Structures are given as C-alpha cells and as structure tokens.
Amino acid sequence: MQDKFVKNAIGRLVPTEVNGRLQIPYMGVGKYHPEGNKYAPPIVSCSDFPADGNKLVATLKDALIKAGLRDGMAISTHHHFRNGDLVGNQIFEIAAELGIKNLTWVPSASFECHAPLVKYLEDGTIHHIEGSMNGSLGRFTSTKGMKGLGILRSHGGRYQSIQDGEVVIDIAVIAAPTADFFGNATGDRGPAACGLLGFALADSQYANKVIVVTDNLVPFPCFPWQIQGNYVDYVVKVDKVGIPEKIVSGTTEVTKSPDRLLLAEWTAQFCNEAGIIKDGFSFQAGAGGTALSIGIYFADILRDKGMKARFARGGSNKYLVQMLEEGLTDFILDGQTFDLEGVRSMRENWNHVNTSPFTSYNYHGKGNFASMLDVVILGATEVDTSFNANVVTHSDGMLLHGIGGWQNCIFSKCTILPVPLFRDRIPIIKDDVTTICGPGELIDVIVTERGIAINPLRTDLIEAMKNSKLPVKTIQQLKKEAEDICGVPDKAKFTDEPVAVVKWVDGTVIDTVWKLA
Amino acid sequence: MTTIGIVGNKGKGVKSDCFITFEITEKGGIEIILESKVKVMYGDSIIKLANEILKFFNIENAKLSIEDSGALPFVIAARIEAAIKLVVKSEKEFLTLLLEQNNYQTARDKFRFSRLYLPGNTPNLMINAGIHKPDGIILDLEDAVAFDKKYEARFVVRNALRSVDFYRAERMVRINQVPEGLNDLDFIVPHNVNLILVPKCESAEQIHKVNAKIEEIKKKRNISGDIWLMPIVESSLGVIKAYEIATSANNVVAMAIGLEDYTADLGTKRTNEATESFYARCQVVNACRAAGIQPIDSVFSDIADLEGLKQNVIKSKGLGFDGMGCIHPRQIKVILENFAPDKNEIEKAKKIVNAFFEATEKGLSVVSLGTKMIDPPVVKRAQRTIDISIKMGILNSNWREEQNAG
C-alpha cells in the first residue's frame, strides 16, 4: 500500500492512484502545466431529437432509463437549491430500485438534506462521491469510508476536471426553477427561484446526457435562459424541485455576535488602512454573518470617502444589493444568490451579472475573475504557522465541509481570513493543519479577535500597517496566545487508510483525508 | 451533607462550560467518565486535571462524570471543586494559575465610562469580554445568577479573576446584598479583584461591614493593595442616604444607581424618558460630586436599541454622570463615544490647557484666557477632557506640537 503514496511539493503524503486513475501530486502554485486537448462529449444529430423541440419525458425514472443509466456511471447534480434540494436523493432512490450499483455521484456541493444517501454508500449503489462530503456524508467518509476514494474539489476545480476529462459525466441532472420543453432553463424565476444555475454550466456542456427537471414549465422560450436547451436531452416536469425557504433565506441578517462584529470591523479597518479600499476596487465576501458585516463596513467606508467599488463578487445578499442600488458598486458579478433580494436584483438589474465557475474560477482557462479581485474575505477551520489553511476537516480529524470556491478565491490580490482564535477551546492556528486545502503563499492575512497576523511574504502590507493602531502580531504569537488560554491540543488519530483526496485547482492532489482511528 | 454533588451547565446552547456529577463511593477507587466535544484534542488533559483535583482533596473512592462542551481548564477546575465541596468539607482551595498580566492595581480616579456585566455562572461570556475594551468588567454574583447557582458561581468567578485575561480592564465583582454578600468576599478578595460593587446599598454601615470583612481577609492572607468599592443605590432609602454612603469610606471611589429596583421601589415603571428617576439621578450625582467620587448611571437594558442607548448616554452625561453599566459588548462603543468630549468641549479644553502651559512657561501664577482669569479647577477639568480625548483616540497626544506647528 505504502509504495502507492508519494510526498508532494507541500510535504503531504498523497496516493498516486485514485479509483483506478493515475494522479499527479501537487507540484506548487502554477507549476503543473497541462497538455493535450479538452474533453469533448459525443457528436449528436438533430435527427435523434424531436423537431418540434418537445423533449418532455413523463418521469425522472423514465428520463434516467432513456439516458442509459447503468452500473458504474457518473451522475452529476448541483447545489443551487442548497439544503432544500428535492431532486438529488430521488436519483439514487431510482437507481437503487433498478438495482444499479457503483455509481459515482458528482455534486457541485452536498448538504445535510443529502444525509439519506449514506444508505446508498453503504449498500454499494454509490461507489464514491466527487465534489464535497458535508455533515453526515463527511462523517460517514471519515469513520467508515466509501467503497472508492472520495474526491474533494473546489467549484473551479470541478469545472476544470470536467473540462479536462478527469471526470466524465455520463448523466447530468439539472434541477431548474423554470424551464421550457426544449430544455432552456433559468434560476431567477419560479417557486424554487435560486438566482442562477452557473454550477451546472460545465455539465450542460460536457455531459453525455443532460436531464432538466423543473416544477415550473413555461411555454417555449424560457427567456432569458441560463442553461441552453441545445445541450439538453430530456425535460421532466415534477410537482416540486426544492423547498423555497431552505433554498434562499427570506432575509439574511448580519451577525449580532460581538466577537464576530469585532472581526468584521477590524477586517474592514485593515483593508482601509492598508490602502486596499480605493475608488474602483473590487471585493468578495462570503455568506457568513461575519462576511455580511464586513460588506456593511466596506459600504460605510466607501460612503464616507465618496468612493465606489467597480465590482463585488457574490454570493449576493440584500446588503450587496443595497450597495449596488445605492451606487457604491458598479457591478455584482454573482456566483450564487443567498436571499430573495439577491434573486430579485439578478432578475431586474443588468448590472447584477450571472457568472459561472468557468468565468470566475476555472484554472485551466484563459484567466479567471477570482485572481483579479483586490480583496477576498474567507473562512477556515485551521491555519498553520506557514499560513497553509484547511477548510474541509476539523481538528478532531472529521471531514465536515466542502471546499466551495475557497481555493479559487485565494488567488485574489489579498486574501483575508477573519477567524476566531479558538472555537470552544479548539485553537485555529496549528503547527500543522489536519488537511491542507490551500498553500500559505496565497493567504495574506489572518484576523482574529486577539490580533492580526500578516504573512511575512507580504512585506508591502506589513509596511503599510506599521503605524496602525490595530493589534498586528506574528502568527506564532497568536498561536501561543491561544494555547496559553486553551492548552496545547493533541492531534487527531488516523489510520493509514485514505478515505478521500483533496484536489488543487489544477487537478493535482494536494492532500489526503485519512480514516479516523 | 449530600452524597452527590451536581454543578455546572449543559444542554443546547451551552458553550465553554461543563456539567459535573460527583459521587463518593465506598470502594473501587476513582472512576472518571468523560463526554466531551473536544475529547480528541483535550480528553487526556481533562482527565489529568480531574485526577489532580481529586488527589488534592484526598478523594480516594469516587465516581466523577464530566459532560464537557469545550470548557477551559479554569472552568473545569471550578466546577469539579464546587461539586466536591458539596459532598466533602474542606478548607483547601484548588487555585488555577494567577496570570502574571492580571497582577495590576487600578487608580482611584481611573475612567469608568463603561463597565460590562458578566453573569458569574456563564464562563462562556467571560472569555472574550476583555477584547471589547470596556473600562471595567463586572463578574456578577448577584442578580445575573440564579438562586440555586449562587454557590457554584463563586468558584467560577474566583478562577476567572485569576486565570482569565481581561486585557487591563478593571476587574470588578458585584457581590450579593449584604449580609449574604460578605460570604462572597472570601472568593474574591485574595484573588486580585480591583473593585467590588455593593448592591442595594442603604447605609454607611453596610459599607463598613464589607470593609471590615475585606480587612480581616487581607490580614489573614497577608494581602496588601487597594480594593475599591462602588456602592449601588437601588431604593428610595438608598437615594436619600446617598451622601452618607458616598462618604462612608476612603475606598469608595464611585457610586452607581440601579434604576430597575429603584423604580420598582417607587411603585412606578422605568421609561426611556426617565422622568421618574430624575430626582434620584440628580441626588446621586450631587452626593458623588460632594464626596469627590464618580457618579455612575444605571444600565440601559434594550441591547437591540443602540440609538435609544445613545440618547440615554447623552442625557446621562448632561446630568453629570461619569459612566454607565453595559450588559452587552455592543453597548461599549456607544457609551464611550457619547460620554466622550465633543468637538466644542475639546477645542475649549485645548485653549485652556494651552493658556495654562503658556502661563507656566512664562512663570505666571495666574492663568488667563483673553480677559478671563481661569481657576485651577477649570484647568483641571480641561486637562481631564484632553486626557480622555487622547485616551479615546479622538485627539493626538502631541496635539500641542501639532497646533504650534500649524
């Protein structure tokens, strides 16, 4: 077994083969140069499709059978409906009923609503997951392990892997809030409106068969469309594709936690003092309560200075929409909408732009938006003293989260992680993180409630903050402060059995997730 | 004495705390059962700490169950000790490390704009309290602790005084009403408390009792250093006796008013306009000024209404108060900003202080500004305004050089 592992460029032991496919170990940022051509799906002919454009099929089961569902296939779904998804589980219920085995599930992300799929991991209907293993699925992976190795990818890495043919999608099932019988589909309208369908773009372009499932069938044309019907094989009308209140929240609220507000305030103040906030700058803050508050502080600073941002990257929410409508940013380049205001704005406002992992994150493209950002605000479960960070496992070794767009976003000009120095006694800063998801050279600043650490590589930022009243400290000082309060934590105990690998944005393997002892 | 000691908190929403069940057994040695969300990282160290405490109290046969939700060592130690002492009588104390950085005394006239109340039995709220930079933190043993939790809270407060870094905030404890509150003093006086709040104070005698007990403890434990007192008047009688209380002892450095109890005592309701407490507030301010101590206003209890708080602070400052209690860290900034001197005040203070410096430099004994002579107390007040402004970051410490350069 051991001879099949190799130490990669960041010092982590990774398998040289995953689920029968040879792997390239992580080589460093920008070091791996791919060769050859992109993957291409088979050529099809209009003669095999109804000339009247009507691709309706009675049920999802019929569509899956027509699409040729059989053992060993890769089936993809998307997380536009987040924890309110009603379609993902049905696919595998149907597969199990048909006695089909060894499927690969390729979701763009999984949520707790997919916990019922654990039984299909146990009975062999699903061989392994490529995408993310959140909550219960992660717990199952860490403690028992799937039949195959799980593969964790970022949103951009997912696009890259499908484009490059690292994963070949046999059947893509795109759940859509609104669609027509031809397969044109959109996320900005309908009872399950979720904003956009960008995560399904790669699947629509590269999957062998594409099924659109909707509960809001409109007469052709569904316009404007986000998914083009010309990629679509079958359309299925169902009663309900998602639970609206679990898809987008009616209202997103900023955090009331004083500790998180302090992180947000310091982060915004840091950006201001370091000269990052200036006329025409760009930023991305996530969906968490802290990130929302940072957006509000940014807006205050811009208003005070009479400046505006050129663009903000979503996930959008009502606060970002307010900034757009108040003229504090020219554009929102949105990847997903987190609340109903975001959905409305995307539908109504030309400057609220629907983007995809192709435009924003794909590393094997001719540039992407993420690296153009002046500043991005992200989270992490752990950071080490070289600023390498973890977002998928916890310090007890349990796999609980996906990567999302995190790996892609750290390519921004300044990546800031506002994180509490410890959470319920568990320090964030370690000598070694449990799992490396991103190399420290791309992570610039850690903001904690007890001080701010700037990556020593960023001498420009250190210089800019020299006279700041903000508590700038070294990362070693912060680590010590946490350990003085919490004690030095013991490390998680693992077996030597891998249960998943973490892919870097270029498809190389950056780390391994090990089964818990 | 009972045979089972149960202390602490558990359940949904409980963080950084633990729940202890301690039972003395006849034989079989020590049995420790640990359930913890941080077991992988800290399981061994929690068991080690538990064994150390059991050994310290000479427990040989017992069953100890720890249900932990990420409690820090000072909390685990406080909980286990309290549980043991419910069953086993002991004069010994298992003291956690007194942090070197907690060894400070505070000045009699330090700023006390904001002081943050922290419930004495909720350690989760204590851990990060200091990072919000209140002038003081109050570990509350009185109204914020349920009656049946008063005993165990004392251990948490004692250990917090020793082992939690409040980042130079003045470390205050609100004891229970005298005479019960006198029993709290053993848990705080030897552990470097800076100031003690004496609630529901109605006479100088109560203050004398507190001081007598403090002296007794200091003598017994051979402790020196000042411990300041801040009586809280919360009744009509207390208000009437305000001056008597304010002048009751040398270590009384401030006096607060508690309006919830006061308005109840009056038989009226507390309103945002606060006309019902106008007399009482004025009385407290007058008594404090006459006694040369700081008058401190009551807390504003609607934590969501920061605008209401702001108006309240402006009114409070106008009446002559020097500070106010907070019950949520979000209130600290609003209180500081609005107790802070405004632009006009700072400009005026700068002129006066400048005139004073110029007079001193010229060797003049009388300070004057234009045609007006300035009395020493006016200079002192102006200097205080300047000091506050510098401390709060609204005025540069080198403002005179800047002014002269400009």
| Bridge pairing between strands A375-377 and A382-384 | unpaired
Smallest CA–CA distance from A396 into chain B, residue:
B40
Q: pLDDT tens, A316-346?
A: 988 999 999 999 999 999 999 888 899 999 9
Q: In sequence order, which residues have a C-beta less than 8 Å from that of residue A45 and are 6 or more positions away?
A: none
User: Which residues in B lie closer than 8 A to residue A423 (C-beta atoms)?
Assistant: 70
Note which residues in 44-83 of chain B have CB less than 8 A from chain A.
Answer: 44-45, 69-73
Q: pLDDT tens, A425-462?
A: 999 999 999 999 999 999 999 999 999 999 999 999 99
| Interface touch B42/A487, C-beta < 8 Å | yes
pLDDT at A286: 75
Residue B112 and residue B77 share a domain:
no
Flag whether B169 is in a domain: yes
Q: In sequence order, which residues have a C-beta less than 8 Å from that of residue B326 and are 6 or more positions away?
A: B114, B115, B116, B117, B134, B299, B332, B335
pLDDT at B74: 98
- The answer, for A487 touching chain B at a CB cutoff of 8 Å, is yes
pTM: 0.93
* Helices of type H across A102-175: 118-122, 135-143, 155-164
Give chain B's mean pLDDT: 94
| Interface touch B15/A424, C-beta < 8 Å | yes
- Which amino acid is it at B13? G
Give the angle subtended at the CA of A463 by the CAs of A459 and A465, to the nearest 5°.
120
The answer to whether A49-247 and A258-492 have equal CATH topology is yes
Cα torsion angle, A228, A230, A233, A237, sign: positive
Residue B203 and residue B123 share a domain:
yes
- For every residue of A162-213, which 3-state class applies, written as one string? HHHCCCCCCEEEEEECEECCCCCEECCCCCCCCCCCHHHHHHHHHCCEEEEE
Residue B104 and residue B79 share a domain:
no
Burial of B116 (0-12, 13-18, 19+ CB in 10 A): buried
Q: In sequence order, which residues have a C-beta less than 8 Å from that of residue A288 and are 6 or more positions away?
A: A255, A379
Residue B314 and residue B183 share a domain:
yes
| Interface touch B70/A397, C-beta < 8 Å | no
Helix (H, G, I), strand (E, B) or coil at A126: strand
The candidate with the shortest Cα–Cα distance to B83, out of B50, B61, B36, B60, is: B50
Flag whether B95 is in a domain: no
Percent residues over pLDDT 90 in chain A: 92
Flag whether B133 is in a domain: yes
Q: pLDDT tens, A3-54?
A: 599 999 999 999 999 999 999 999 999 999 999 999 999 999 999 999 999 9
The alpha carbon of residue A92 and the mean position of all alpha carbons in its chain are separated, in whole angstroms, by: 23
Domain-ending residue, one of B32, B64, B87: B87
**Cα→Cα distances A278→A271, A306, B255, Å:** 9, 10, 48
pLDDT at B201: 98
pLDDT(A252) > 70: no
Helix (H, G, I), strand (E, B) or coil at B317: helix
pLDDT at A2: 44
The candidate with the shortest Cα–Cα distance to A127, out of A19, A44, A223, A216, is: A19
How far is A516 from A492, CA to CA, in rounded Å? 8
- pLDDT (average), residues A211-227: 97
| Interface touch A426/B38, C-beta < 8 Å | yes
pLDDT at A432: 95
Residue B354 and residue B303 share a domain:
no
| Helix or strand holding residue A129 (H, E) | strand A126-131
Residue from A300, A425, A428, A480 to probe the interface with B (highest B Cβ count within 10 Å): A425
Residue B133 and residue B246 share a domain:
yes
Architecture of domain A258-492: 3-Layer(aba) Sandwich (3.40)
- pLDDT (average), residues A366-375: 96
Beta bridge partners of A418: A447
CA atoms within 13 A on the CB side of B316: 30
The candidate with the shortest Cα–Cα distance to B137, out of B108, B167, B112, B117, is: B117
| Interface touch B41/A485, C-beta < 8 Å | no
Q: pLDDT tens, B122-140?
A: 999 999 999 999 999 999 9
**Backbone φ, ψ for residue B78 (5° rounding):** -65, -40
The interface predicted TM-score of the complex, written ipTM, equals: 0.91
Flag whether B194 is in a domain: yes
pLDDT(A509) > 90: yes
pLDDT at A399: 97
Domain-ending residue, one of B324, B339, B354: B339
Domain that holds residue B60: 4-87
User: Which residues in A lie closer than 8 A to residue B128 (C-beta atoms)?
Assistant: 258-259, 449
- The answer, for A185 touching chain B at a CB cutoff of 8 Å, is no
Give chain A's mean pLDDT: 95
A vs B: CB pairs below 8 A: 61
- The answer, for B186 touching chain A at a CB cutoff of 8 Å, is no
* Helices of type H across A401-448: 406-409
According to DSSP, residue A488 is labeled P
| Interface touch B38/A485, C-beta < 8 Å | no
Residue B367 and residue B290 share a domain:
no
Please state, as a whole number, how many other Cβ atoms lie within 10 Å of the Cβ of residue B56: 17
Beta bridge partners of A454: A445
- The answer, for A434 touching chain B at a CB cutoff of 8 Å, is no
Residue B20 and residue B158 share a domain:
no
Q: In sequence order, which residues have a C-beta less than 8 Å from that of residue A495 and are 6 or more positions away?
A: A514, A515, A516, A517
pLDDT at A1: 45
pLDDT(A251) > 70: no
- The answer, for A396 touching chain B at a CB cutoff of 8 Å, is yes
CA atoms within 13 A on the CB side of B179: 0
User: Which residues in A lie closer than 8 A to residue B329 (C-beta atoms)?
Assistant: 258-259
- The answer, for A262 touching chain B at a CB cutoff of 8 Å, is yes
Helix (H, G, I), strand (E, B) or coil at B123: helix
Instruction: Indicate the domain borders of chain A.
Output: 49-247, 258-492
Q: In sequence order, which residues have a C-beta less than 8 Å from that of residue B345 and are 6 or more positions away?
A: B385
Tokens 């050089």 locate to B401
Structure tokens at A228: 């083009």
User: Which residues in A lie closer than 8 A to residue B72 (C-beta atoms)?
Assistant: 425, 485-486
Beta bridge partners of B42: none
How far is B66 from B60, CA to CA, in rounded Å? 17
The total number of structural domains that make up chain B: 3
Structure tokens at B47: 């068991």
User: Which residues in B lie closer than 8 A to residue A259 (C-beta atoms)?
Assistant: 128, 131, 329
Contact criterion met (CB below 8 Å) for B283 and B235: no
User: What is the maximal distance between C-alpha atoms in chain A?
Assistant: 72
Smallest CA–CA distance from A398 into chain B, residue:
B40
**Domain A49-247 superfamily per CATH:** Glutaconate Coenzyme A-transferase (3.40.1080.10)
Residue B118 and residue B83 share a domain:
no
pLDDT at B358: 86
Residue B287 and residue B356 share a domain:
no
Write the residue in A258, A485, A493 that is nearest to B72 by C-beta. A485
Q: pLDDT tens, A151-188?
A: 999 999 999 999 999 999 999 999 999 999 999 999 99
Q: pLDDT tens, A40-99?
A: 999 999 999 999 999 999 999 999 999 999 999 999 999 999 999 999 999 999 999 999
| Interface touch B70/A395, C-beta < 8 Å | no
pLDDT at A267: 97
Identify the segments of chain B with pLDDT beneath 50: none
Residue B256 and residue B370 share a domain:
no
| Interface touch A425/B42, C-beta < 8 Å | yes
Residue B393 and residue B292 share a domain:
no
Flag whether B118 is in a domain: yes
pLDDT at B1: 58
